[in-house]
Amino acid sequence: MQSENNTQSARVEKPLLSLQGITKAFPGTLANDNVGFDIGHGEIHALLGENGAGKSTLVKIIYGVLKADAGEVIWDGQAMTVAGPAAARQRGIGMVFQHFSLFEAMTVQENIGLAVTDEKDRKILRQSIIDVSHGYGLPLDPDRHVHTMSVGERQRIEIVRCLLANPKLLILDEPTSVLTPQEVARLFETLNKLSSEGCAILYISHKLHEVQELCEHATILRGGKVVGECNPKVETPRSMAELMIGDKLTPPERNKPDLSGAPTRLEVSNLSLPSDNPFGVDLDKVSFAVKGGEILGVAGIAGSGQVELMAALAGETVIADNDDCVRIDGNAVAAHGPGKRRHLGAVFVPEERNGHGAVPAMTLADNAFLTGFRRMNLIKNGLIQTEPTEAFANDIIQSFDVRTTGPAAEAGSLSGGNLQKFIVGREVRQEPGVMAINQPTWGVDAGAAAAIHQQLIDLSGRGAAVLVISQDLDEIFAVCDHICVMAEGHLSDVRPIGDVSVEEIGILMGGLHDQAASPATSQAEA
């Protein structure tokens, strides 16, 4: 690694993009502080940093979403002023955002068509979407409405929309957060092909093993400043994480729990639920149980029924004719909404943080109140208690190291990872008896992911039953005691985490339950 004072050396000759002294301030924070680095033609360049380090602000400046307060963007040897994303696309700059810029009421084709101005291209757009999406292993139905799609499927739209434009520079902000390992491998094949054809790629990811595999150079931001550069191929994921946080990385610690005699706190029995939209997934006789002190992982590729399962657990979907199919601490709740379930001590974290887990236009204090008012005693005589609510939000901010200006900051002003830390912290600090969480560390940096994992482990250590739904097998193997797989609305048998391999789980994720290598072991026998 090069030192902080030597980050501008070893530049490629005639770079495609050169950033010089980029500075951008927002009220209360300096997001980018004299940032500079180069990207060469065909180079795959990683931009690394903690949540809130200034990565997203920087790429938004390149893409024309934001304007720098100072500094220059040099494009192919000439100073460039980008009036907006349309102008950036005309220059050959494409971007896949971490948070999707899609209209949910429109179809895939209609969303992609918004960026297509050429009439000839619009006429062949439908077939182009089919050809490109299937060719890159990210199949899309052009006629499907976005609101019916999972997070992983929506990410495919963003990637395909960019690839249709044949960009000279492709900016990817956490592109694989909700993709399966197979989709990631296919995407990497695509990116390497684009690179060989001269397309430069600026790659932002907290999945450092992917950075190590894909990228040939990395620039590291911390606190809005460039603090170093490295070659990912001669680093390890851990060493890169430590460069990002400026400290040693502490992996989560977990002792194998003794579950003998532990009470069953969350139980699902023969849950069958037809989806209420034509592109959803029907749940078919889903059964599992989670004991106090246990963490159960549900693996599966996007769109396998995880969203429907989470809605049934949280009470967003009620099952009026089968109240017993979901029980919390022995209480039948399937026919009741979220209120009763939270009253019984259950909390829930959905996969989509913006608009579902939090209201972007509301303050952090208000968002803390939304789910914590009962368990944290934030109402008295029918009135909101302002000071206790702000104290609760402050406690979350401090305990989970949420990088923000304070509880009065709007949720939408936080980076994706910091908002995720806040939402997880909001639920954990309520000391629930049952927690169900979907994609707990989506878009979260390595240090914050380790902290969230430790909080889930500690919560289970205090007797809570924790259900983790995740597409990240590394995450499941790191924190869970047992594992099962959701595929096409079916749930495999629950197995001890030490009795299965990644290869077996991959087979189950593909829906081939009969090909799993070894017989299921019941949870009761574990």
Q: Is 269 helix (H, G, I), strand (E, B) or coil?
A: strand
Sign of CA dihedral 157, 442, 207, 26: positive
pLDDT at 473: 84
- Please, are residues 432 and 345 in contact by the beta-carbon 8 Å criterion? yes
- Decide the pairing of beta strands 295-299 and 225-230: unpaired
- On the CB side of 112, how many CA atoms lie within 13 Å of its CA? 33
pTM metric for this prediction: 0.72
- Decide the pairing of beta strands 346-349 and 434-438: parallel
Sign of CA dihedral 179, 181, 182, 187: positive
Q: Give the residue ranges of DSSP H helices in 400-498.
A: 416-428, 446-461, 473-479
526 residues of the chain, pLDDT tens digit each: 444 444 343 344 689 999 999 999 988 789 999 999 999 999 999 999 988 889 989 999 999 999 999 999 999 999 988 889 989 988 999 998 776 778 989 999 999 988 776 666 778 899 999 998 888 777 899 999 998 887 678 878 888 888 888 889 999 988 876 666 667 787 888 899 889 989 999 999 888 989 999 999 999 999 899 999 999 999 998 899 888 888 887 777 777 888 888 999 999 999 999 988 777 889 999 999 999 999 999 998 777 899 899 999 999 999 999 999 999 999 999 999 999 999 999 999 998 888 899 999 999 999 999 999 999 999 999 999 999 999 999 999 999 989 899 999 999 988 888 899 999 999 999 999 999 999 998 878 888 888 899 999 999 999 999 999 998 888 899 899 999 999 889 999 999 998 988 778 877 776 554 444 443 333 434 4
pLDDT at 456: 96
Rounded CA separation 198/41 (Å): 6
Q: What is the DSSP letter of 322?
A: -
pLDDT at 13: 63
Ordered by where they begin, the domains of the chain are 264-525 (3.40.50.300)
pLDDT, tens only, 366-407 = 999 999 999 999 999 999 999 999 999 999 999 998 989 999
Rounded CA separation 474/163 (Å): 29
pLDDT at 120: 64
Q: Which of 280, 332, 335, 334 is nearest to 308 (CA)?
A: 280
Q: What is the DSSP letter of 105?
A: T
Tell the residue number behind the tokens 């997934």, with chain if given: 281
- Please, are residues 171 and 93 in contact by the beta-carbon 8 Å criterion? yes
- Please, are residues 265 and 328 in contact by the beta-carbon 8 Å criterion? yes
pLDDT at 14: 83
pLDDT at 510: 65
Please work out, in degrees rounded to the nearest 5, the angle formed at the alpha carbon of residue 316 by the alpha carbons of 312 and 317. 50
The values of phi and psi at residue 6, to 5°, are -130, 30
pLDDT at 275: 85
The encoded tokens of residue 282 equal 């029907």
Please work out, in degrees rounded to the nearest 5, the angle formed at the alpha carbon of residue 162 by the alpha carbons of 159 and 164. 110
| Residue type present at position 209 | H
Q: Is 293 left (phi over 0), alpha (psi -120 to 50) or beta?
A: left
- Decide the pairing of beta strands 17-26 and 29-39: antiparallel
CA dihedral 246, 352, 479, 293 (to 10 degrees): 130
Question: Where do the DSSP E strands lie in 294-397?
Answer: 295-299, 326-328, 331-332, 346-349, 379-380, 383-384
- Decide the pairing of beta strands 264-273 and 225-230: unpaired
Rounded CA separation 481/258 (Å): 11
Rounded CA separation 333/101 (Å): 36
Rounded CA separation 339/371 (Å): 10
The encoded tokens of residue 84 equal 């907006």
Q: Is 42 helix (H, G, I), strand (E, B) or coil?
A: coil
pLDDT at 245: 84
Rounded CA separation 7/21 (Å): 13
- On the CB side of 460, how many CA atoms lie within 13 Å of its CA? 31
pLDDT at 119: 65
| Residue type present at position 41 | H
Rounded CA separation 306/268 (Å): 14
Rounded CA separation 187/385 (Å): 49
- Decide the pairing of beta strands 331-332 and 326-328: antiparallel
Rounded CA separation 241/95 (Å): 24
